[in-house]
Amino acid sequence: MKLLQLSPSELRQRLAGQGVWLRTGPFSLRVQSGIPSVAQGLVDLYGQFETRDSHHAFADFHVELNPPSPLRRWFRPQVDFSYDGNLPFKPLPLDQAYPMLEWGLNWCVSMHAHQYLIIHAAVVEKNGLAAILPAPPGSGKSTLTAGLVLSGWRLLSDELTLIDRLTGQIQPLARPVSLKNQSIDVIRAFSPNAFINRESHDTAKGTVAHMRPPTESVRRQHEVARPGWVIFPKWTAHAETRLTPRSKAQTFMFLAQNAFNYSHLGADGFRVGTSLIERVDCYDFQYSRLEEAVAAFERLAEQATPHAAT
């Protein structure tokens, strides 16, 4: 069944008790939390995701979000992210409980799922071909990703590109898209269809909110995609939209440095990385207007379609 089939009060009850079981991409989670904003985040953003009775089900990751101590309930309340009894992070202010769940889940996947080469990059798909968007923070990667998936591209992930080591295909991990600071308003203005949840302020990255993933992307979250492009987006004020080819060798080095587990995989990491680079076209992409950026990606997808069929 889907999570939205649970009433909000039932979901809250399960979440505070045994925990809520969820499937996202290839992973299953059990989330336990007594914090109302976490329950609300799941109601707002995970409605289309599959859930099960958590009692006897297997889960890949067992996570909890709860206040570190009952004493802290009134005085500067905080939240801890617990991964099956381990606390990988320092507690954060309670207001950041929901984003902490998302960051914590990214950590769970990037620290453990070594069946994939995991690159720190957003990834979207059109006509069977995936565009990998690696970029340092502040480059407008999340804004572009949100703009693309609101314009018909399929969301594979906004943060973790999972490359299957056996097939070289990209495994989707469609989850809410993280938006920061001005990009929250940019996306609200870009599309009235975007649902963005409540903002958390003063996080390590400023104000953060999450956008609900498109229903279609969630429905197709088990459908792998072929790598088509690696594109480095860069938002620059007043810049013209411009796509310029980029060296494959440099791109490979960047991806290796920005993979979470490249060094863990040893020689196989190199093999998976080089075979990825051989299959894709690499570009730098500069933009300032989101509509133009989306149009440029559209053209790229159209040009590549016949190529993709062969």
Partner 1 sequence: MSVWLNKPPRMPLPSPTRPTRLKDHVSATLRNPGSVRHFSMADWDLLIRQARNAGLLARVRHVLDQHNMVKHIPNEARWHFDAAATLADKQQLAVRWEMSQISQALVKLAIPVIVLKGGAYVMAALPAAAGRLFNDIDILVPREQLGPVEAALMLAGWNATGLSDYDQRYYRRWMHEIPPMQHIKRATVIDVHHAILPDTARYHPDSGKLRSRAVAVEGMPGVYVLSTEDRILHSATHLFHDGELPHGLRDLTDLDLLLREATEASDFWPRLTARADELQLSRSLSYALRYLRYFLDTPIPDSVFAALHAAAPNRLTLILMDAIFTRVLAPAHASCADVLTPAARLAAFVRAHWLRMPAHLLIPHLFHKAFIRSAPDNDVPKPA
CA 93 from centroid of its chain's CA atoms = 22
Q: Which of 171, 178, 217, 221 binds partner 1 (CB under 8 A)?
A: 178
d(CA 172, CA 279) in angstroms, rounded, equals 18
Q: Which of 86, 193, 247, 310 binds partner 1 (CB under 8 A)?
A: 86
The DSSP secondary structure of 225-293, one letter per residue, reads: BEEEEEEEEEE-TTPPPEEEE--HHHHHHHHHHTBSSTGGGTHHHHHHHHHHHHHSEEEEEEES-HHHH
Q: Which of 8, 88, 136, 138 binds partner 1 (CB under 8 A)?
A: 88
Tokens of 252: 């490979």
CB of 111 to partner 1, least distance (A): 10
CA 43 from centroid of its chain's CA atoms = 18
Phi then psi dihedrals of residue 293, to 5 deg = -60, -45
Contact track, partner 1, 231-260, x by CB under 8 A? ------------------------------
Stretch that binds partner 1, among 42-50, 78-86, 128-136, 249-257 (CB under 8 A): 78-86
Which residues face 286 on adjacent strands? 234, 242
Is 136 within 8 Å of 230 (Cβ atoms)?
A: no
CB of 82 to partner 1, least distance (A): 10
Tokens of 43: 């109601």
d(CA 123, CA 145) in angstroms, rounded, equals 8
Q: Does 80 bind partner 1 (CB under 8 A)?
A: no
Q: Does 58 bind partner 1 (CB under 8 A)?
A: yes
Give residues 154-173 in contact with partner 1 (rule: CB under 8 A): 158-159
Q: Does 104 bind partner 1 (CB under 8 A)?
A: yes
Q: Which of 14, 20, 24, 28 binds partner 1 (CB under 8 A)?
A: 28
Q: Which of 71, 74, 75, 204 binds partner 1 (CB under 8 A)?
A: 204
Q: Which of 50, 93, 128, 205 binds partner 1 (CB under 8 A)?
A: 205
Is 62 within 8 Å of 22 (Cβ atoms)?
A: no
CB of 107 to partner 1, least distance (A): 7
Residue closer to partner 1 by CB (options 260, 287) is 260
d(CA 304, CA 164) in angstroms, rounded, equals 22
Q: Does 208 bind partner 1 (CB under 8 A)?
A: yes
Question: By the criterion CB under 8 A, which residues form the site for partner 1?
Answer: 28, 56-60, 62, 81, 84-90, 92, 99-100, 102-104, 106-107, 112-115, 142, 158-159, 178, 180, 203-205, 208, 263-266, 268
